[in-house]
Amino acid sequence: MRHSPAEPAPAGHPDHLGRQAGERGPEEPFPRLLPWLLVIGGAVGLLAAFVLAVEKIALLKNPEYVPSCSINPVLSCGSIMTTPQAELFGFPNPLLGVAGFAVVVTVGAALLAGAGFGRWFWLGLQAGVTCGAVFVHWLIFQSLYVIGALCPYCMVVWAVTIPLFWYVTVRNLARGHLPGGGSVVSSTRGARVVAVLRDYHSVAIAVWFGAVIALIAVRFWSFWITLV
């Protein structure tokens, strides 16, 4: 018999988080922030990926087509869409975003509806956002130092992927879901580190974004100063 999150499991039976009845698990971090972030961030990323997919299809139909996000020599989606990096796995990268962000929105909506997920599910979500973050930072490097152009819609995807990865990771770490996470949370030093990450979560995001913005500013500084 399945029990709702609000109902305690009968004595001797584990709940949906794998705890025995009567055991008190670690506090849920970001109980409202994370679900809304998954829904809103996932929706924004989904929209950006969808628009990129449409622009890519239009470019495939007509090689002379100028994408709406090709604004100047630096902000130029067209310069990126025609590179091998735009089809790393043999098909347009935006298709990955459409599929991935659709899952993110669904998970966020389920959490807002009161759904509870087991450790295996959160590990799967962790794997997804981690792969997304690694891929995004690879694309950042390629855009800045190999292709030499920026895609505005791609940068929207960057902007939502980073916090999605960060908050899911901190949440899983605080709950002890990550491999070895249980021993980390149970130790005094580990618990303090997790508490700092949880309490100063926005600072880490601000620094992260600041670093990416600084890299973009320095890389294309000679172009930015011509706009002043």
Residue pLDDT, tens place only, 130-140: 999 999 999 99
How many folded domains does the chain comprise? 1
pLDDT of residue 197: 87
pTM of the model as a whole: 0.84
Structure token pair of residue 110: 């389920």
Per-residue pLDDT band at 176 (split at 50, 70, 90): confident
State the residue range of the domain holding 151: 33-175+185-227
Instruction: Provide the 3-class DSSP secondary structure of residue 14.
Output: strand
Residue 22 lies in a domain: no
State how far the alpha carbon of 97 is from the alpha carbons of 12, 32, 89, 116, 166, in Å: 43, 24, 13, 25, 18
* The two three-digit tokens of residue 112, written as one number: 């807002």
Question: Domain with 121 in it: what CATH number?
Answer: 1.20.1440.130
**Sole residue written with tokens 């973050």:** 133
Residue 34 and residue 168 in contact, taking contact as beta carbons nearer than 8 Å: yes
| Contact call for residues 165 and 129 (beta carbons, < 8 A) | yes
Q: What's the pLDDT score for residue 14?
A: 43
| Cβ atoms < 10 Å from Cβ of 44 | 16
- 177-204 per-position pLDDT tens digit: 887 655 555 667 777 888 888 889 999 9
Q: What is the mean pLDDT of the chain?
A: 86
80-117 tens-digit pLDDT: 999 999 999 999 999 999 999 999 999 999 999 999 99
**Inside any domain, residue 6:** no
Whether 141 is covered by a domain: the verdict is yes
Mind listing the pLDDT tens digit for each residue in 38-64?
Answer: 999 999 999 999 999 999 999 999 999
pLDDT at 19 over 50: no
Q: Is the dihedral of CA 205, 207, 210, 212 positive or negative?
A: negative
